Chain A
Amino acid sequence: MNVLKLGAAALILSAGAAGAQEKLSVYHWFEYIPQELVDKFTAETGIEVTIDTYDSNEALLANLKAGKLGSYDVAVPGDYMVSIMLGEGMLDEIQPGELKNIGNIEPQWADVAFDPGRKHSIPYQWGSTSFMVNRDAFKGDIRTTDIIFNPPAELSGKINVLDTAGETLTFASLHLGIPQCATDRAQLKALDDLVQGAKAHWASFNSDGAKDVLVSGDVAAGMIWNGFGQKARLEGANVEYAYPKEGYIVWMDNVVLLKDAPNRAAAIKFMDFLLEPENAAAVTNFARYTAGVKGVEPFLDEELKTSPEQNPPADAPAGTFVQVCDEATQKVYDQIWTRLKQ
C-alpha cells in the first residue's frame, strides 16, 4: 500500500519537475517511516524519494545479494545484519565530516560493536524483543520466559512465536541460559529438545502478524517487538509487555550507506535529515520504539515517556544483542529450525 502511494506520489512529482530532479532510493522495513516525514524531506531538499520494503533482515540480505545492490542508496538493517553486510562488503564508508549532524548521535550508540567507529551507519531506532500476555487470559507472573517455553495451562496452545529463526532460537537460548552460537553439543541438544517440546504449546509462527494475532484474540500470548506491542495495546487489547528475568533481546536498526549507491549525495542528506532530533522523534512517535539521537525529548508524544513498553522496570535485566555465528555453528541452528517446522 505505502509503496504504491509513494510510487504514485513519485510519479506526480517527477512529472512536475522535468527530469533534472535529484532522487533517493530507500530500502526499508514495512510500516516504519511516516509518510509526512518523507514528504517533509522532499519539501526541504527537493529530492524525490522512492521506498521499497522488506519484512526481515534476511530478506533484505537475500534481495541485495540477488542483484539489487547498486539500485538502492540506503537500507535499514538491524545490528547483527549490519555486521554481516559489512563482512559481505555491501556497505560504503561515510567520510569524516560528511555528516554535519553526526554529533547528534547518543553517546551510547556513537561507537558500536556491529559497526566499529560508526563508519557506515547511523542509528535509526532501537528497541527490544520479548513477549506480551493477554491479562484477561492469564493473571499470574509474566516476567519469565516460561510463559513461552513452559507455559501455564491457561496459555498452552494460545501462543504465537516470531517466524524468524534468529529471534526465536535466541530467545530459547536465553530461557535455557546457554550462550548464543553455542558449540557445546549438550547445550545444542537441549535447545533442540526445548523447542521441539514447546511447539506443542504454540498455535502459530507469525512475525508481521504478531500484533494482529494479539489484538484479534487468536492467541493469548505472543513474542513481539516492544513498539509493535505498544500498538497492540493502543488498539485495545488488554496485553502487557514482559521484561523476563531470564533476559530478552535488544536490537538497533541502523540507516546504512549502501555500496554503489546511485545517489550517494542524496543519501548523505537523508541521513543528516534523520539525525535531526525533530525528525528522529517523528519516527519514534510513529513506530513507538526509541531514537538513538540526542535532544528528541521535546518532540516526543507524552505517553512514550511513561509507557511500559519503552520503560523497563528498574530491576529488569539488561537486554542481549543477537550474535552472528560462524558457518559451521549456524548450520546446526538452521537444522534445529528446519526440524522444528518439519
Chain B
Amino acid sequence: MAGGGAGGGGRTQSAAFAPVRLWLLLPSWAVIAIFMGLPLLIMLVYSFLTKEFRGGVIWEFSLAAYDRFVFDRGLFGDDPPVLNTTYLTIFARSLIQALVATALCLLIGFPAAFYIATRPPEQRTLWLLLITVPYWVNLLIRTVSMKFLIRENGPLNEFLMGIGLISEPLPLVNTDIAVQLGLFYSYLPFMVLPIYAAVERYDFSLSEAAADLYADRWTILREVTLPAVRPGVIAGCILVFIPSLGAFLAPDLLGGARTFMIGSLIEEQFKGAAGDWPFGAAAATILMTIVLIALLLHARAEARREV
C-alpha cells in the first residue's frame, strides 16, 4: 500500500526468472490458499449449514443463521417477524468504537510520526524503539495494566486528586472511555509506523517551495504534505480500524463486558452456552463483507483520483 520503492530495478531481472516464476510464486500461493482461502471458505460454508444443538453443525443447507440476524421473532420465536435491531445495534456499537479509536490514533499518531521523522536520523531509531517497546509485552497483560492504572484507587485517580484537579475519583473502569483508551493504546503503533515510513520519504524541500510561493502553514500541510503522505495515513487507519472492529479484549476487560461487541458476540456462539456455530460464521461473514465493501469503495475512489 505504501510501497512503490522496489519498482525499477526488479523489472529487468524478472526476465531471467520468467521460466521458474510460477514455481517461485508457489509458496506464496500455497500460504494464501491454506491460511486465508480455506479458513474463509469453511466460514462461508458453515454459515449456510444447519445448527446442531450445543455446538457443531448438521450438513444440511439452511438460511437460519442469516434469518436470525435479520428478523426478530420475539422472545419465544413465534411473533410476526420484524427487523432485528439487536445485532445491528451490536455492529453499530463496534463500528463507532472502531471509528473513534482510529480517529484518536490518527490525532495523536500523525503528529508523533511527523515529529519522529523530522528528528536527526540517529535519534529516530530511539524514538521508534520507544514506540514499539510496549509491544514486547503481551496484549492481555498491557490491557490488564491499563485497568490497574485507571481504577478508582489507581495511580491516575490518586494523581489527579493529589494535585487537586478532582475531589472524587473518576469512575473510568467499565466505561466506553476505558475501552477507547484500551483500543487506542493497543493499536497506536499501527498508526505511527506507516505514517512515519511515509513522512520519512517525504521531501521537505517541497514544503519550502510551497512556502516560497506564499502558502501559509495550513495550506502547505493540506495541499502539499498530506497528499504526499496519504498512503501512509490510509494504511495506518486501516491497520487500526480493522483490529479495533473485532477487538474483544479491551471491551471485556476495560468495558466490563456489559454489552456485546462483534468480537464477543461471535466468540459467544462458539464458546458460550448458546453454541450456534452457523450464526457465528454468518456474523463473521457479514462483518467481513462490510469491511470488504468499505475497502473496495476506497480502492475505487483511489483509482478515480489517479486517473
Contact = CB atoms under 8 A, between A and B. Distances in A.
A216 interface: yes
A216 B256 contact: no
A165 B258 contact: no
A65 interface: yes
A306 interface: no
B214 interface: no
Interface stretch (B51-59, B198-206, B294-302): B51-59
Interface string A174-188: 000000000001001
Contacts of A61: 54-55, 275
A331 B77 contact: yes
Contacts of A58: 271-273, 275
B53 A188 contact: no
Interface in A217-231: 217-218
Contacts of A88: 54
Given A58-B275, A165-B274, A189-B75, A338 B54 contact: no
A338 B173 CA distance: 23
A108 interface: no
Q: How large is the interface on B (under 10, 10 to 19, 20 to 34, 35 or more residues)?
A: 20 to 34
Interface in B241-282: 252-253, 256-260, 268, 270-276
A11 interface: no
Contact of B257 (A56, A163, A216, A331): A163
Nearest to A334: B274
Given A65-B55, A203-B174, A216-B151, A342 B89 contact: yes
Contacts of A3: none
Contacts of A56: 271-272
A338 B258 contact: no
A216 B157 CA distance: 14
A192 to B, nearest CB: 6
A330 B77 contact: no
A205 B256 CA distance: 6
Contact of B273 (A164, A209, A327): A164
Nearest to B276: A334
A139 interface: no
A189 B74 CA distance: 11
Contacts of A165: 272-274
Nearest to B73: A335
B273 A339 contact: no
A338 to B, nearest CB: 6
Contact of B75 (A163, A188, A218): A188
A164 B267 CA distance: 13
A191 B134 CA distance: 45
Contacts of A166: 273
Q: Please indicate which of the listed interface residues A84, A205, A332 has the most CB atoms of chain B within 10 Å of its own CB.
A: A205
Given A332-B75, A342-B89, A337 B274 contact: yes
A332 B174 contact: no
B35 interface: no
A206 B271 contact: no
Contacts of A218: 151-152, 173-174
22 contacts: A56-B272, A61-B275, A62-B55, A62-B270, A66-B270, A164-B273, A188-B76, A192-B75, A199-B258, A203-B258, A204-B258, A206-B256, A218-B152, A218-B174, A332-B75, A332-B77, A334-B274, A337-B273, A338-B260, A339-B86, A341-B257, A342-B90
Interface of B: 53-56, 75-77, 86, 89-90, 148, 151-153, 173-174, 252-253, 256-260, 268, 270-276
